[in-house]
Amino acid sequence: MNAARPVLAIVGASYAGAQLAASARDLGFEGRILMIGEEPHPPYQRPPLSKGLLTGKTGAEQLSLKSAEFYAQNSIEMQLGTRARAIDVAARRLTLANGEAIDYDWLALATGARCRKAGLPGEDLQGVFHLRTLDDALQLAAATAQARRACVIGGGFIGLEVASALRSRQLEVTVIEAQPRLLARSFPPDMSVFIEAAQRRRGCDFRLGRAVRALHGAQGRIAAVELDDGERIECDLVVFGIGVLPNAELAQAAGLAVDNGVLTDAHGRSSVPGILAIGDVANMALHPVPGGPARARLESIQAANDGARAAAAVIAGGEPAAPTVPWFWSDQADLKFQMTGLPMAGDQTVLRGEMESERFSLFYLRDGALVASHSVNKPAEHMQSRKLIAARARPRPEQLRDPSFDLKGALSAS
Ligand code: FAD
C-alpha cells in the first residue's frame, strides 16, 4: 500500500483507460495515475478505422483522443509499447513484460478486446486483414489502394462498414456471412432485409448462409476465397470482421471471476477488492430493466466511457453517475445507424416512417414501456428515444408509428 500517495494503475490506454484517468482527476483523485498500454500510440479514436480512415476522409493525425498537454496537465503518466504480464493480488503488485513492478492501490483493467481469428487455412496470407488497431487500419488502407476485388468475411457492423468504405474506393466487394441474414445478433429480420437491400443498391454483393472453407494464395498473396458449397471468389483483399474476444487472460490468471470478460458490478468492481474492469473487457452487471439482461459485455465507446466514469467514482469516492441507456452507432456510406437500449426477442416492434425511404426508426416496446430503438438517418428520433427510454416512458404504439406525433410529447406525458 502506498500510504502517502495512492497509486492507480490502469492497464490499457484507450477509451476506457483514458476516460478513467480523466474522470478520477476530475473527481479529485490526487494520487499517481499510470496508464500502461501495449500499443505504441497514445489513446486514439477507433471507430474511424473502419470508416473515415479507410475512405480517406480522415487522416491518422486526426485520431488522438486527448492532447499531450491534457495528460501532462493532469499528471497522467503513460507507458506505451509495454504489456502488463501478471497481477499479484495479495501483494497488490502489477508486473510488466519488461520486468518492472508497480505497487498499486487501485488497479483498473481496461484491456479491451482483440479480433477473433477464424483458424482457416490461408488466414496468414498477404492481403488478409483483421481490423482492430490503428496499425491494422493503416496497413489495410495501404493495401486497399492497390486492390480491385475484396471479400469481407462477416456481415456484422465492422464488416458492413468496411464493405461500404471499400465500395467508396471503387473496389468490387463481396460480403460473406455464415448466418442466413446480416446483423442477426443485433437486428430483427426486417432490418436485416433492409440493410442487405440498401447495401446491394450501393454495389455490395453478398453470400449469406455460407461459411468460408479456405483462403487460397498465389506467391504468398491472397488470390481466392473458397466457400463451403465449393464456390471460389477471386479476390486480392480479404478483411475479417467476425467478432472479438475480451482480453481477460491477465485477470483470469490472477484469479478474478471471468466469464465472457471480467465479471463486475455496475460500477466496474471485480470479484477482487481494489481491482476494477471497464470497457470492452468488462462483463458488467446492468441497472435493472424489467425483462432485460442482468449483465452484458457491451462493445461501444459509450459503454467504455460510462463504465470508466462509474469506476472513477468508486476510486475517488464521488457520487456514482446515474445509469445511462446504452447506445451505439454505425456509419455505412450515407446510412447513419443509431441504436439505443437492448432489445430482446419477444419485444413488440413499431416502425415509424418507411424503410424504403432510408429514413426511419424502429421502436421496441416491452410490457408497454419503450426499451430500445434503431434509427436510420433519423438522429432527432434517436436522441428522443434515449430520453424516453431513460424516463421509462410508455408511449402508445400508434403515437410512435405516427410521424406527425411529436416524441417530446410522450416524454412530457411520462
Ligand atoms: P480498446 O479500445 O480495445 O483498448 C484496449 C487497449 O488495451 C488496447 O490498446 C490493447 O492493446 C491494450 N491492452 C490489452 N492487453 C494489454 C496488456 N496486457 N497490457 C497493456 N495493454 C494492453 N464503437 C462505437 O461505439 N461506435 C463505433 O462506430 C465503433 N466502431 C468501431 C470500429 C472499429 C474498427 C473497431 C475496432 C471498434 C469500433 N467500436 C465502435 C468499438 C469501440 O472502439 C470499442 O468499444 C472501444 O474501443 C473499447 O474501448 P476499451 O478502452 O475498452 O478497449
pLDDT band at 270 (very low <50, low <70, confident <90, very high): very high
Pick the residue whose CA is nearest to atom 52 on ligand 1: 279
> Is residue 247 in contact with ligand 1, taking CB distance under 6 Å?
yes
> Is residue 381 in contact with ligand 1, taking CB distance under 6 Å?
no
- What length is written for the chain? 414
Alpha-carbon distance of 328 to 280, in angstroms, equals: 13
> Is residue 248 in contact with ligand 1, taking CB distance under 6 Å?
no
What does the block give as the cell for 122? 490461408
> Is residue 306 in contact with ligand 1, taking CB distance under 6 Å?
no
Alpha-carbon distance of 56 to 38, in angstroms, equals: 26
Pairing of strands 359-366, 348-354: antiparallel
What does the block give as the cell for 68? 499531450
Instruction: Answer yes or no: are the C-beta atoms of 7 and 31 closer than 8 Å.
Output: yes
pLDDT band at 326 (very low <50, low <70, confident <90, very high): very high
Q: How far is CA 136 from CA 39, 141, 160, in A?
A: 11, 9, 17
**Atom of ligand 1 lying closest to residue 331 CA:** 28
pTM (2 d.p.):
0.95
**Atom of ligand 1 lying closest to residue 50 CA:** 34
User: Which of 285, 262, 288 is closest to 275 using CA atoms?
Assistant: 262
Instruction: Answer yes or no: are the C-beta atoms of 105 and 1 closer than 8 Å.
Output: yes
Instruction: Answer yes or no: are the C-beta atoms of 101 and 114 closer than 8 Å.
Output: no
Q: How far is CA 248 from the centre of its chain?
A: 16
**Atom of ligand 1 lying closest to residue 328 CA:** 25
What does the block give as the cell for 59? 487522416
**Per-residue pLDDT tens over the stretch 198-242:** 999 999 999 999 999 999 999 999 999 999 999 999 999 999 999
What is the CB-side half-sphere exposure of residue 13 using CA atoms within 13 A? Answer: 24
Query: What's the 224 CA to ligand 1 centre distance in angstroms?
Result: 30
Residue whose CB lies within 8 A of the most ligand 1 atoms, among 51, 242, 301, 332, for a mutation test? 301
Residue whose CB lies within 8 A of the most ligand 1 atoms, among 111, 325, 386, for a mutation test? 111
Pairing of strands 172-177, 205-208: parallel
> Is residue 39 in contact with ligand 1, taking CB distance under 6 Å?
yes
> Is residue 280 in contact with ligand 1, taking CB distance under 6 Å?
yes
Instruction: Answer yes or no: are the C-beta atoms of 50 and 158 closer than 8 Å.
Output: yes
pLDDT of residue 242: 97
User: For 122-134, what is the mean pLDDT?
Assistant: 97
pLDDT of residue 288: 76
> Is residue 106 in contact with ligand 1, taking CB distance under 6 Å?
no
How much is the mean pLDDT over the chain? 95
- Residues linked to residue 103 through DSSP beta bridges, in sequence order: 93
What does the block give as the cell for 168? 467508396
**Per-residue pLDDT tens over the stretch 15-33:** 999 999 999 999 999 999 9
**Atom of ligand 1 lying closest to residue 16 CA:** 51
User: For 126-135, what is the mean pLDDT?
Assistant: 98
Query: What's the 178 CA to ligand 1 centre distance in angstroms?
Result: 25
pLDDT of residue 317: 86
Query: CA 279, 282, 287 angle in degrees (round to 5)?
Result: 95
Beta carbons within 8 Å of 226's beta carbon, 6+ residues apart: 212, 213, 214, 215, 216, 232
> Is residue 304 in contact with ligand 1, taking CB distance under 6 Å?
yes
| Positive/negative CA dihedral, 288, 292, 295, 296 | negative
> Is residue 140 in contact with ligand 1, taking CB distance under 6 Å?
no
**Atom of ligand 1 lying closest to residue 327 CA:** 25
pLDDT band at 3 (very low <50, low <70, confident <90, very high): low
Q: Which domains does the chain have, with CATH numbers?
A: 7-114+245-316 (3.50.50.60), 117-241 (3.50.50.60), 334-413 (3.30.390.30)
